[in-house]
Amino acid sequence: MKPVSKPLTIALAVSLGLAAGFAVRAWQRPAEKADTPAQSPISSGSSASSKAPAPPPASGSVLVRKTEVDLSFSTGVTRWLVWMTAVEKATLADFPALARMGKNLPGAIRMLAARWFALSPQHLFDSCIAGEKSAGFPTDELASLLFGEWPKNDPAACIAALSKTPGLESQRYNVVNTIMKSDPELGLKTLSAWRIESYGPDMQKVIDWATKDPRHAAEVALENPAGFATELALKAIGEAWGNSDPGAALKYAAGQSGKNGNALANAVMFGWAERDLTAASKWLEAADEPTRNKLMPALMESWGRKNPADAIQWCRENASGSTQKEAIGGLIKGLASKDVDGAASLVSSMEPSPERAQAAGAFAEAIRDEEWFPTSFGIENKPMAPAALTWLNTLDPDSLKSALTMAQFDWANSDPKGFAAFLASPAGLPVAGTFAVQVAQSLCRTNPTEAMAWAGQLPGKEREPAQAATFATWRNAQPDVALQWLANLPANDPQRPLLVRETALNAINWQEARTPPETPQQIADLILRNPPAARSAIQALTLSDQNKQALLKMVK
């Protein structure tokens, strides 16, 4: 037998010294009983006294064939030595076959991947891509090991490989997150190049980077937009720059256009106000009007957490119109993050006004994750908290509409019956038509007829819009069932004319290129059952006279 090389001897000694017990237990196979069926030589191995091993594969290199035979004859530490020898001597062409061979051997793929990666990460990557379409290839384990090391070892090559390969979104997220922990500049550029818009990687290194050169960090973030990641990065950069020179940071940010420039400026102002409210407010008082209007909400958000009464007074003295509305909204948002009850009371105490409506919406948005409002990602069928219902009942219609606009999706999905009941109450009725579609969509998922009953019991001018929206939702989801329900309504049912008219409008709104217009037979039949409603619907359409006449002939 050929003597073992010195590097291999050292590696074996280290491996045995650290994990000999594990290797022996994992690789040792108990002696087979006489009546035990023969198992795969790769998955379990065979002792010398066992049945004759399976013949070597018909293809593959000499090393691959010899390794498979040697593994079938070996046990315990000897099998470990056989595998280590094969991995040490393998060429790149041998690795894919060895990967298939070692997928059931504990620890074998990790050792193979380490050697493979050392020789050629690109070859390992290409083999993983090819192996996805090949049965028996351990793609997931190899790819996990590859992308755990490649972005640390050679990020440029890793990025280039992924950039040329479509798909692999999850690997891109993992890679960019790893890069952000060591090179945030490259990470932000990669996020932008890959058009990743809704991912928020670790931003700790961005703070360190921005502390050393905040202007350069801001320039990179603004020049490489990446959605949510850019928002997080600019917030971190703004806070870091504001710590050292808030005046310079605000001067730079004021010269940037768009929402990202505003995000940077607001992050600087908020951080400055958190550290030194007096200095920040004095600076803003002396700023020009456009700058003051842009940054006042951020100042109010911080000030509202400390002293909301003084903040409102300052806001009323230094702002008006839409700027004052935005500023008060920021104040309520800041206060709600510290004192939910206090923020709710402050909104309730305000007189009905555009400012109050803005504040109500800001409050509802700020407490979406609190116990007051249910969330669609929380417990199913969780009702609105009593305190929240009490607060909603204190609001005027405009403020209520503003608050419910922020809460409608979560409330309708977590407790649609509770939302429907509120909209039917005296407090909710004035805005019921605005949120009927959201409630109807949720109710129709479980009980469409119950949803129609809810819409039908609304009084006054809110009833017909709610009925139309609810039936349209049902009709879009279950057209046959909904239309049959409508066809079966008694001729004197008060909701029948409205729903037939709305159905006719929907049915006749065909593509203009069709001549003559066509409608599904079932809808056409329904229209014919109520010609007056159909004619009324046709006359309401913005069509040419020729097309209107063609449609009117259908209902004569």
What is the tens place of the pLDDT at every residue in 218-254?
999 999 999 999 999 999 999 899 888 998 999 899 8
User: What pLDDT was estimated at residue 31?
Assistant: 34
Q: Is residue 268 part of a domain?
A: no
Domains of the chain: total: 2
User: What pLDDT was estimated at residue 534?
Assistant: 65
Closest CA to 284 of 312, 246, 238: 246
Confidence of residue 316 (pLDDT cuts 50, 70, 90): confident
CB under 8 Å to 64, separation ≥6 — which residues?
57, 86, 94, 97, 98, 101
Q: Is residue 504 part of a domain?
A: no
User: What pLDDT was estimated at residue 278?
Assistant: 92
DSSP 92: G
Structural contact between residues 122 and 139, judged by C-beta atoms closer than 8 angstroms: no
Q: Is residue 324 part of a domain?
A: yes
Distance CA 55, CA 69 (A): 8
Q: Is residue 401 part of a domain?
A: yes
- Whether the predicted pLDDT of 13 surpasses 60: no
Q: What are the structure tokens assigned to 49, written together?
A: 């006294």
Q: Is residue 50 part of a domain?
A: yes
Confidence of residue 378 (pLDDT cuts 50, 70, 90): very low
Confidence of residue 490 (pLDDT cuts 50, 70, 90): confident
Q: Is residue 22 part of a domain?
A: yes
Domain termination site, one of 54, 87, 119: 119
DSSP 37: P
Neighbour count for residue 123 (Cβ, 10 Å): 15
Domain termination site, one of 73, 102, 119: 119
Lowest mean pLDDT among 35-39, 147-151, 164-168, 249-253: 35-39
Confidence of residue 93 (pLDDT cuts 50, 70, 90): very high
Q: For residues 379 and 67, which has the higher predicted lDDT (pLDDT)?
A: 67
Domain containing residue 332? 276-406
| Average pLDDT of every residue of the chain | 80
pTM of the entire structure?
Answer: 0.61
Q: For residues 318 and 15, which has the higher predicted lDDT (pLDDT)?
A: 318
Closest CA to 371 of 330, 414, 328: 414
CB under 8 Å to 77, separation ≥6 — which residues?
16, 20, 23, 24, 27
- Whether the predicted pLDDT of 41 surpasses 70: no
| pLDDT tens, position by position, 256-303 | 888 899 999 999 999 899 889 999 999 998 888 888 888 988 999 899
| pLDDT tens, position by position, 119-132 | 999 999 999 998 87
Confidence of residue 113 (pLDDT cuts 50, 70, 90): very high
Write phi, then psi, for 74 (nearest 5 degrees).
-105, 160
- Whether the predicted pLDDT of 24 surpasses 80: no
User: What pLDDT was estimated at residue 156?
Assistant: 96
Domain termination site, one of 406, 434, 462: 406
Among the ranges 30-34, 145-149, 314-318, which has the highest mean pLDDT value?
145-149
Q: Is residue 84 part of a domain?
A: yes
User: What pLDDT was estimated at residue 432?
Assistant: 84
User: What pLDDT was estimated at residue 11?
Assistant: 41
Across 143-159, average pLDDT: 95
Q: Is residue 305 part of a domain?
A: yes
Q: For residues 217 and 482, which has the higher predicted lDDT (pLDDT)?
A: 217
Between helix 277-286 and helix 246-254 the angle, nearest 10°, is 40
Distance CA 184, CA 76 (A): 46
Distance CA 466, CA 434 (A): 9
Percent of the chain with pLDDT over 70: 79
